[in-house]
C-alpha cells in the first residue's frame, strides 16, 4: 500500500497531538515504537523524511494509522476526526475576530435570497472595516443584494472558519451588516482590484462590501 506524501511539519504536529491524546511522554512513545526518544522529539520539531517501517511502528505506538499520521484523510469532510480531549469552547472578542479574518481567503456570504436563504463561498479581503468580495454584475447574488428598495441595503452575514485537524481545534467568526455595492471609483486602489481573484473565474467585476457592524466568534480547543 502506498501512503503518498505529506508535509513533514504536519506530520510532526499529528505525532505530538496523538501522543498528548494518549497522555504519553516522548520516551514512552519511543519505547513503544522501538526508536530512541530523541528521534521522537526530532520528528515532532523538524521537517524530516520518514521510513515506512518507522511510520507504521509509530502509528501502532500512538494507536492510530499511518494514513492518519500522514494526513491521507485530507479529502474527507473536515471535523470527522472526533473532538479533542476535554474540548473547551470560548467566545472571541471583536478585536481578535477581526485579526483572524484580516488575512482574507475564502468565507461564506449568507443572505435572504429571492428563492429563500442563500449561502455561497467567495474569495474576500478585509478592508476598511468591511468584508469585500466580487460577484458577477447582474447575476443572482448581485440582484438579491440590491434588494430593490432605493437607499436600503440588504443585511447579510459573512462567516469565516479554520479547522486544524491535527490539533483538533479551530475557530469561527461571523460578521453581520449591510451589504453595499461599490462603484468603480470606490474600489480601494491599493488593493490591486481588491486583490480578490475569485476561484469561480469569469467576469466578476461588481464589488460588494459587508460593513462589520456586528462581529462575533468562537474558538474550540482541548485542555
What is the full DSSP assignment across 6-61?
--HHHHHHHHHHHHHHTT--HHHHHHHHTS-HHHHHHHHHS-----HHHHHHHHHH
Domain ranges of the chain: 8-75, 89-222
| Confidence band of 79 (pLDDT split at 50, 70, 90) | low
Do 177 and 213 touch, CB atoms closer than 8 A? Answer: yes
Is residue 118's pLDDT more than 90? yes
* 152 vs 179, more confident: 179
Class for the domain spanning 89-222: mainly beta
Q: Is the pLDDT of residue 25 over 70?
A: yes
Q: What is the pLDDT of residue 191?
A: 46
**Residue 48: per-residue pLDDT:** 77
Superfamily per CATH, domain 8-75: lambda repressor-like DNA-binding domains (1.10.260.40)
pLDDT of residue 74: 55
Q: What's the confidence (pLDDT) of residue 169?
A: 80
Q: Say if CB 163 and CB 89 are below 8 A apart.
A: no
> Does residue 217 surpass a pLDDT of 60?
yes
> pTM of this prediction?
0.66
Nearest one of 109, 108, 175, 115 to 140, comparing CA atoms: 115
Under the banding of pLDDT at 50, 70 and 90, the label for residue 200 is confident
Tens-digit pLDDT profile for residues 168-179: 788 999 999 999
Question: What's the pLDDT score for residue 187?
Answer: 61
Q: Are 90 and 216 in contact (CB under 8 A)?
A: no
Q: Could you give the count of Cα atoms lying within 13 Å of 117 in the half-sphere of its Cβ? A: 4
pLDDT band at residue 192 under the 50/70/90 scheme: very low
What's the pLDDT at 164? 74
| Confidence grade of residue 3 (pLDDT, cut at 50, 70, 90) | very low
| CB within 8 Å of 208: residues ≥ 6 apart | 132, 133, 134, 135, 141, 142, 145, 179, 180, 181, 182
Which is more confident, 62 or 76? 62
CA pair distance 197, 214, nearest whole angstrom? 26
Amino acid at each position: 500500500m502506498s501512503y503518498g506524501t505529506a508535509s513533514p511539519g504536519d506530520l510532526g504536529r499529528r505525532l505530538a497531538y496523538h501522543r498528548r491524546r494518549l497522555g504519553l511522554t516522548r520516551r514512552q512513545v519511543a519505547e513503544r515504537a522501538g526508536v530512541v526518544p530523541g528521534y521522537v522529539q526530532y520528528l515532532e520539531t523538524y521537517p524530516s523524511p520518514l521510513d515506512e517501517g518507522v511510520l507504521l511502528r509509530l502509528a501502532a505506538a500512538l494507536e492510530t494509522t499511518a494514513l492518519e499520521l500522514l494526513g491521507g484523510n485530507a479529502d474527507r469532510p473536515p471535523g470527522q476526526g472526533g473532538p479533542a480531549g476535554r474540548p473547551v469552547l470560548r467566545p472571541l472578542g471583536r478585536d481578535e475576530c477581526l485579526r483572524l479574518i484580516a488575512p482574507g481567503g475564502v468565507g461564506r456570504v449568507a443572505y435572504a435570497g429571492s428563492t429563500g436563504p442563500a449561502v455561497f463561498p467567495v474569495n474576500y479581503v478585509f478592508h476598511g472595516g468591511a468584508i469585500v468580495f466580487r460577484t458577477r454584475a447582474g447575476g443572482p447574488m448581485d440582484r438579491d443584494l440590491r434588494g430593490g428598495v432605493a437607499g436600503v441595503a440588504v443585511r447579510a452575514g459573512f462567516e469565516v472558519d479554520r479547522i486544524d485537524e491535527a490539533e483538533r481545534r479551530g475557530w469561527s467568526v461571523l460578521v453581520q451588516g449591510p451589504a453595499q455595492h461599490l462603484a468603480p471609483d470606490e474600489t480601494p486602489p491599493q488593493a490591486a482590484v481588491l486583490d480578490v481573484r475569485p476561484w469561480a473565474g469569469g467576469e466578476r467585476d461588481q464589488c460588494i462590501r459587508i460593513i462589520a457592524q456586528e462581529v462575533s466568534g468562537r474558538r474550540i480547543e482541548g485542555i
